[in-house]
Amino acid sequence: MILTVTLNTALDITYRVPSLKPHASHRVSEVTVRPGGKGINAARVLAALGHEVTVTGFAGGATGRELRDRLASQAPGVVDALVPVAGATRRTTAVVDARTGDTTQFNEPGPVVGPAEWATLQDVYKELLGSVSAVALCGSLPPGLPVGAYAGLIRTARAAGVPVLLDTSGEALRRGVAARPDIIKPNAAELAELTGSHEPLRAAQDARRRGARAVVASLGADGLLAHTPDGIWRAAPPARVQGNPTGAGDSVVAGLLSALAENLPWPDRLARAAALSTATVLSPAAGEFDRQAYEKLLGQVAVTAEVNAA
């Protein structure tokens, strides 16, 4: 069983408009609503790959109810261990410009989580850790939670002997890295913010020095860069694809955990993660991927070892 934690879950709304223009009124040609937030997206991909997966995090209000209903109906195989909160789960809106293919994202802050709710979440998490082989901690923190929330969850996972992956940003990432997670999965901007370096290889090395055991950086169309105790690799998909990139990073997380659960070596983990990520861009909504494209891409991702010159 794999566990994903999304402290700031979201009802994900995707609007498709013919052409997005600031200051203009738009007719939305297509609306997609999905249970979301980064860990929930990763869990949906893991379940589609055939893994047993449980999600925890917070859900509250009418949006939280809708999220849970949709999880039951749209995410078969994902076990719901979400913790109720008094505040309402946020909505996040992605607007896809059909002309350019560009996506613009609006993320609400999320409900204020109180100390008693946070304590309940930590109890549920500790109990779940007893029956999982790996855990991913994903996304932003809702207001009210301590900025070291993920760092605490990482320490708990380490004490339980469960491999832990962290995918967050800003100060939560900085504190989390210091708690020594097994893997972090920043994008280029998050890695640069953490380390002050815009050179991904140097930045990944620095992030490891700060405490991450392995770093897998998602570099958009340039694919993945992995800096690990076993070596350094780049994984590049065969070509740049057009589509909705929302959730592409969550599919990297799913690919890494899926291959970790099967005990695959790093190059195979990276090939799976890069293929899933690209296949997610080709599907209309986060948490979903084009299976045919994924299977084709798996054999086409180029994974190359890099010599560490630093």
Ligand X SMILES: O=P(O)(O)OC[C@@]1(O)O[C@H](CO)[C@@H](O)[C@@H]1O
Active site residue ranges: 250
Q: Which two tokens stand for residue 237?
A: 């998909």
Per-residue contact track with ligand X, 121 to 160, x per CB under 6 A? ------------------xx--------------------
Among 8-16, 75-83, 263-271, 290-298, which window interacts with ligand X (CB under 6 A)? 8-16
Is residue 4 part of the contact set for ligand X (CB under 6 A)? Answer: no
Is residue 249 part of the contact set for ligand X (CB under 6 A)? Answer: yes
Interface with ligand X: number of residues (CB under 6 A) = 17
- Min. distance of Cβ 168 from ligand X in angstroms? 7
Beta strand ranges found along 123-201 (DSSP E) = 134-138, 164-167, 183-184
Is residue 64 part of the contact set for ligand X (CB under 6 A)? Answer: no
CA dist., res. 156 & res. 179, Å (int): 10
Is residue 63 part of the contact set for ligand X (CB under 6 A)? Answer: no
Residue with smaller CB distance to ligand X, 117 or 250: 250
Burial label, 202 (beta-carbon count in 10 A; 0-12, 13-18, 19+): middle
Is residue 243 part of the contact set for ligand X (CB under 6 A)? Answer: no
Is residue 255 part of the contact set for ligand X (CB under 6 A)? Answer: no
Is residue 182 part of the contact set for ligand X (CB under 6 A)? Answer: no
Beta strand ranges found along 176-236 (DSSP E) = 183-184, 214-218, 224-228, 231-236
Nearest alpha carbon to residue 85 among 56, 118, 109, 54: 118
Residue with smaller CB distance to ligand X, 142 or 267: 142
Among 46-54, 187-195, 233-241, 242-250, which window interacts with ligand X (CB under 6 A)? 242-250
Per-residue contact track with ligand X, 16 to 45, x per CB under 6 A? --------------------xxx--x----
Q: Which helix (H) or strand (E) holds 284?
A: none
Residue with smaller CB distance to ligand X, 102 or 230: 102
Among 127-135, 171-179, 244-252, 275-283, which window interacts with ligand X (CB under 6 A)? 244-252
> Binding residue for ligand X (CB under 6 A) from 14, 89, 195, 246?
246
- Amino acid, single-letter form, for residue 140: S
Residue with smaller CB distance to ligand X, 168 or 258: 168
CA dist., res. 61 & res. 68, Å (int): 11
- HSE toward the beta carbon, residue 63, CA cutoff 13 A: 23
CA dist., res. 209 & res. 7, Å (int): 27
Would you report the helix, strand and coil content of the chain in percent, each value rounded to 5?
40, 25, 35
